[in-house]
Homo-oligomer: A and B are copies of this chain.
Amino acid sequence: MTRATLDFYYEFASPYSYLAASRLGPLAEAAGVHVEWKPFLLGPIFAAQGYSSSPFNVYPLKGAHMWRDLARLAERYGLPPVTRPEPFPVNGLLGARVATRLNDASRPAFSRALFRAAFAEGRDISDRTVVRQVLAGLGHFCDEVIDQAETQANKDKLRATVEEAQALGIFGAPTFVTADKELFWGNDRLEMALEHAVQIAHAPQAAAQ
């Protein structure tokens, strides 16, 4: 038996990534699954599929349903009423860089707070001041963190995560990836992904059979 782990790929502009990020902590803890938070960018992923914008903009009826669905799910999950970022999708690049820069212990809280700023507080998270305020609110030295987030080494680290996602066949967010490289796409699949992570960790190793 090995430790149950799950990789969580998320993008700050993605509404369902917001929901997943908000729900993930307690569910993963209850399941005994260690989650790796992997901020990445949907821009290159969508571009490679030929989308000119978010699928929710490219297909307006789908977009209209998404905002209704998001409102209903937020209520169901006990989250604040959803605010709709304008423009949508917001540019999540700075947020992704900062999340990449932070260490494993700080990344989840920052990510949840930035998502909440975007989708529950109606704030423009592409604005450097907003990112600074979110960082400061969590007790970080915000200027220092942002400077480090914008070093070439950190930019490259984020780019590597995007390439890793593409190599895995990830096409949207959120996506959960288990140790055996199974993809679970969407907030709706969080529970199944956790279950699968636990199952394969508890299963006898192939080598031991």
Contacts and interface: CB of A to CB of B under 8 A. Distances in A.
A189 interface: yes
A183 B65 contact: yes
A192 B69 CA distance: 10
Chain A interface size, as a band, is 20 to 34
Contacts of A169: 61, 64-65
A65 B188 contact: no
A185 B49 contact: no
As for how many copies of this chain the complex holds, the number is 2
A170 B76 CA distance: 23
B49 A59 contact: yes
17 contacts: A49-B59, A49-B61, A49-B62, A59-B171, A61-B169, A61-B171, A62-B171, A62-B172, A64-B169, A65-B185, A68-B183, A69-B184, A69-B185, A69-B189, A72-B192, A76-B192, A188-B188
A182 interface: yes
Interface string A56-75: 00010110110011001000
A145 to B, nearest CB: 34
Contacts of A185: 62, 65, 69
Contacts of A184: 69
A10 to B, nearest CB: 17
A115 B16 CA distance: 30
A182 B68 contact: yes
Contacts of A170: 61
A69 B59 CA distance: 23
A188 B76 CA distance: 14
Interface in A121-171: 169-171
A184 B188 CA distance: 14
